[in-house]
């Protein structure tokens, strides 16, 4: 018996020794090569990069993990207590591992039949998030997690652990840390959160996607109630505070994209610049602060102007028909879908939405449509534009007379709410359609070069291509001011006479040489024409002959020194803007006129600061002398005349000094307007991405200048009227608008024109019957203005 007991004891000791040895070996192996917890002292997590407008307001952010790092002191007391109550109520008692909480959570979850409490401490959650990146649930990982948690508790204070936890935790919708989540869900800083809001945030810790207050509000409320119960149980709040918190309304912020929608192309341009210069890691994780030049008020005006102008243009192009049809058997399904859509999209004046045609009344000339569960009235006056598209006819040549010509019951159409009504129908509507054409606008501050507004297309969500900076389109007549600028420095004056007559020239290389026969826009020739008239009326032949006289190379040189960087055709077609340029390039070139001959460098970013406050770059206005002030002043005066007397006549509505030039290419594929005041220069382009021709009459004057007008009218509202200044080397002379000579009693039409001093005319315009064609002489005038 003793032998048997002895053998048993020896065996037990051996087994115990083996198991213990194995346990020690496993423990040693699993605990070796633990991550260095000292790295937590240099906690430097990915944080968001912020983009600021010119007033220092945040307009958007870039991040892989949207996190805003804040010290514990800037987090609401209620928020801290809410997370402790929900996640680790014995946080201040345990040393990293809480066996009591593990057991309690186990039985609590069994009773609830779902995971309602977790057994991990806040310290363990910090360990998992920051030190153990492998998510696999293994015994080895649990051992390592426990060891690291114990080490963290020895090395860090409870406050330091809370700081790590509350800045690191994921709380749904890409939000990391309580500060980012607070701003996203409630539109306030974490220091301002009340008890109800704090409890809701803490409730997201277990399942942030499933309990999202944006997508699953009721689930989020259920979790909030649980957290409040835990806070009351732990004595963090009393019964009264508990009831008040439950009754406190929660105003959850929906995703805000207002700034992004207004300035989407501008923001994307900034993103490209920063990523190219600093790399993706720094852009999305480095917490940069990027200060830009965009002015959101001007940007909003630019976006509104582009959308308005392009919708007006698109209607002139004609109605392309309904966007779809609903069969009688599918009508209920479509109505239900519309009802669901309208739950999250309110209908108000100006809203554009889908509708189904219910009835078309040819006698009353009106159409009844359904929007969800309600009816709207579409009168003929709201759809007169909707004759079927015909590129051979201008918009004013036909108007719709009967809505039945284009609509039928069951058609799905787009309508705009114009007016609210009492009863049914609920609204007065107008017919709309989604534009197919595109437009771009860019505006620079002439004194600094700062880009204050940029719209690269009608809808960024459909096309991220930036037509203001990336597109290269033929500028057409918008390029002519560069030719005329060179001419003024090569012997021409505004009064120079050029014969507007048929012109034929060989063009192309020797192997493919062909005869080129350019024409004026309306295919007419006007004989002897003043240089100023050639620019004001945008006469092609005049410009070609000027270019031939001064030389193509000189014109190219002037274009380059005025900021045009795109390759240019070295032939006479350059006079008609045959070489593709970007809207930014051409707008920058026009800034030379507004800036007294100085070329300014466009600035999009004023400053970039890293997460530690170090300035990585800073931009200041950069100027280069391009033209003489005298040449610039004469050109500005000529371009003012384009607005007062020529193709830019629509811009007169601004009722202030404005200079500019229209641009239209052959076959009406591109329409431009470039214009400026003493303070800003703005460029507009309109056209189709596939380069198809626009409708009849869609020139720069009709298609592009209205957008310029809408924008400038808004940004100049309430601003003082500032005239253009003239240097001492320029004189203003009253001339005969036909002959270009000094105005005389025989002049039928006169105008004031700027000349470089010494180039102004010295002869008076003669009596018509006293002059031979092309011959002028000086009249001896007495003080009364009568000829002697």
Q: Just list the catalytic residues.
A: 87, 477
- From the number of C-beta atoms within 10 Å of its C-beta (0-12, 13-18, 19+), residue 531 rates as buried
Instruction: State the number of CA atoms in the 13 A half-sphere of 693 facing the CB.
Output: 12
Give the list of residues 6+ apart from residue 334 with CB closer than 8 angstroms, or none. 326, 356, 412
Residue linked to tokens 């607070």: 182
Q: Closest by alpha carbon to 266, among 48, 54, 456, 49?
A: 456
Neighbours of 437 (CB within 10 A): 21
Tokens coding 269 = 């341009």
Query: Which residues fall within 8 angstroms of residue 287, CB to CB, at 6 or more apart?
Result: 46, 47, 48, 49, 69, 610, 611
Q: Which of 303, 156, 401 is nearest to 684 (CA)?
A: 303
Residues 542, 501 contacting (CB under 8 angstroms): no
d(CA 467, CA 74): 44
Q: 29: which DSSP letter?
A: H
Nearest to 563 by CA among 621, 619, 624, 628: 624
- The overall longest dimension of the chain from CA atoms, in Å, is 158
588 within 8 A of 602, measured Cβ to Cβ = yes
Buried b / exposed e over 616-644, threshold 16 CB at 10 Å, is beebeeeeeebbbbbbbbbbbbbbbbbbb
Instruction: Work out the angle at residue 748's Cα, subtended by the Cα atoms of residues 743 and 753, and round it to the nearest 5 degrees.
Output: 40
Please give the structure tokens belonging to residue 111.
Answer: 């009773």
Burial-class residue 764 by CB neighbours within 10 Å (0-12, 13-18, 19+). Answer: buried
Q: Could you report how far apart the first and last alpha carbons of the chain are, in Å?
A: 158
**Cα–Cα distance measured from residue 445 to residue 453, given in angstroms and rounded to the nearest whole number:** 10
Q: Side-chain half-sphere of 442: how many Cα atoms within 13 Å?
A: 31
Q: Please tell me the distance from the alpha carbon of residue 762 to that of residue 296, in angstroms, as a whole number.
A: 51
List, in sequence order, every beta strand (DSSP E) within 264-399.
289-292, 324-325, 352-361, 366-371, 374-379
Residue at token pair 């382009």: 685
**Sign (positive or negative) of CA dihedral 725, 730, 734, 740:** negative
CB atoms within 10 A of CB 678: 20
- CA distances from residue 627 to 662, 675, 682, 757 in whole angstroms, order as listed: 22, 18, 20, 16
Give the C-alpha separation, 143 to 19, whole Å.
17
The two structure tokens encoding residue 700:
């720069």
User: Could you tell me which of 265, 385, 267 has the C-alpha nearest to residue 315?
Assistant: 385
Distance CA 782, CA 788 (A): 7
What is the C-alpha separation between 606 and 55, in angstroms, rounded?
12
Task: Please state, as a whole number, how many other Cβ atoms lie within 10 Å of the Cβ of residue 243.
Answer: 13
Residue partners of 590: CB distance under 8 A and separation at least 6: 481, 660, 661, 674, 675, 676, 681, 683
């Amino acid at each position: 018996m003793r032998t048997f007991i002895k053998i048993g004891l020896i065996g037990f000791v051996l087994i115990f020794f083996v198991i213990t040895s194995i346990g020690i070996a496993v423990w040693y192996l699993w605990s070796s090569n633990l991550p260095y917890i000292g790295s937590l002292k240099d906690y430097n997590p990915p944080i968001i990069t912020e983009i600021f407008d010119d007033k220092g307001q945040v307009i958007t952010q870039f991040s892989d993990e949207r996190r805003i790092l804040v010290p514990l002191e800037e987090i609401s007391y209620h928020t801290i207590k809410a997370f402790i109550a929900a996640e680790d109520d014995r946080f201040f008692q345990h040393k990293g591992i809480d066996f009591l909480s593990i057991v309690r959570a186990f039985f609590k979850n069994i009773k609830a039949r779902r995971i309602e409490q977790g057994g991990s401490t806040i310290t363990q959650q910090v360990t998992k998030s920051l030190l153990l990146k492998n998510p696999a649930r293994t015994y080895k990982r649990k051992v390592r997690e426990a060891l690291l948690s114990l080490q963290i508790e020895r090395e860090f204070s409870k406050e330091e652990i809370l700081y790590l936890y509350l800045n690191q935790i994921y709380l749904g919708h890409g939000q990391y840390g309580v500060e980012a989540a607070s701003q996203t869900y409630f539109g306030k800083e974490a220091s301002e959160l009340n008890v109800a809001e704090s409890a809701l945030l803490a409730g997201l810790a277990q399942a942030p996607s499933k309990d999202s207050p944006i997508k699953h509000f009721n689930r989020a409320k259920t979790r909030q109630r649980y957290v409040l119960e835990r806070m009351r149980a732990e004595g963090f709040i009393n019964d009264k505070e508990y009831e008040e918190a439950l009754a406190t309304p929660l105003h959850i912020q929906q995703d805000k994209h207002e700034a992004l929608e207004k300035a989407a192309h501008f923001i994307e341009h900034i993103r490209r610049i920063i990523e190219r210069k600093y790399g993706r890691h720094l852009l999305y994780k480095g917490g940069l602060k990027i200060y830009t030049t965009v002015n959101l008020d001007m940007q909003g005006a630019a976006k509104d102007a582009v959308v308005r102008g392009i919708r007006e243009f698109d209607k002139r192009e004609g109605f392309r028909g309904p966007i779809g049809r609903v069969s009688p058997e599918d009508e209920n399904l479509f109505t239900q879908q519309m009802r669901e859509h309208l739950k999250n999209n309110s209908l108000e004046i100006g809203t554009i939405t889908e509708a189904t045609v219910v009835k078309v009344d040819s006698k009353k000339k009106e159409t009844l449509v359904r929007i969800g569960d309600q009816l709207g009235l579409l009168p003929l006056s709201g759809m007169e534009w909707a004759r079927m598209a015909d590129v051979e006819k201008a918009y004013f040549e036909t108007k719709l007379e009967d809505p039945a010509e284009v609509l039928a019951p069951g058609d799905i159409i787009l309508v705009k709410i114009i007016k609210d009504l009492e009863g049914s129908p609920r609204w007065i509507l107008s017919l709309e359609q989604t534009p197919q054409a595109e437009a771009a606008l860019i505006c620079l501050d002439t004194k600094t070069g700062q880009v204050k507004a940029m719209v690269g297309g009608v809808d960024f969500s459909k096309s991220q291509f930036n037509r203001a900076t990336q597109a290269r389109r033929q500028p057409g007549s918008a390029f002519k001011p560069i030719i005329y600028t060179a001419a003024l420095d090569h012997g021409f004056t505004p009064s120079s006479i050029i014969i507007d007559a048929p012109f034929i020239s060989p063009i192309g290389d020797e192997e493919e040489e062909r005869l080129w026969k350019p024409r004026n826009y309306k295919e007419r020739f006007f004989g002897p024409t003043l240089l100023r008239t050639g620019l004001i009326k945008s006469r092609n032949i005049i410009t070609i002959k000027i270019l031939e006289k001064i030389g193509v190379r000189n014109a190219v040189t002037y274009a380059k020194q005025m900021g045009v960087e795109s390759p240019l055709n070295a032939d006479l077609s350059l006079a008609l803007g045959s070489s593709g340029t970007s809207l930014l390039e051409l707008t920058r070139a026009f800034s030379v006129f507004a800036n007294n001959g100085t070329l300014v460098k466009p600035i999009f970013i004023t400053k970039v600061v890293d997460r530690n406050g170090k300035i990585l770059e800073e931009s200041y206005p950069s100027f280069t002398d391009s033209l003489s002030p005298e040449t610039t002043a004469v050109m500005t005066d000529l371009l003012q005349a384009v607005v007062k007397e020529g193709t830019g006549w629509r811009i007169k509505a601004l009722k202030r000094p404005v200079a500019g030039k229209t641009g239209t290419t052959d076959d009406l594929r591109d329409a431009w307007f470039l214009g400026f005041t003493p303070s800003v220069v703005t460029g507009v382009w309109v056209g189709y991405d596939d380069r198809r021709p626009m409708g009849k009459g869609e020139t720069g004057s009709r298609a592009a200048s209205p957008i310029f007008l809408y924008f400038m009218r808004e940004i100049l509202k309430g601003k003082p009227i500032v005239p253009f200044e003239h240097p001492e080397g320029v004189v203003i002379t009253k001339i005969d608008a036909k002959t270009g000579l000094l105005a005389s009693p025989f002049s039928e039409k006169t105008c004031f024109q700027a000349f470089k001093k010494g180039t102004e005319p010295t002869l008076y315009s003669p009596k018509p019957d006293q002059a031979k064609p092309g011959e002028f002489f000086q009249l001896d005038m007495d003080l009364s203005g009568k000829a002697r």
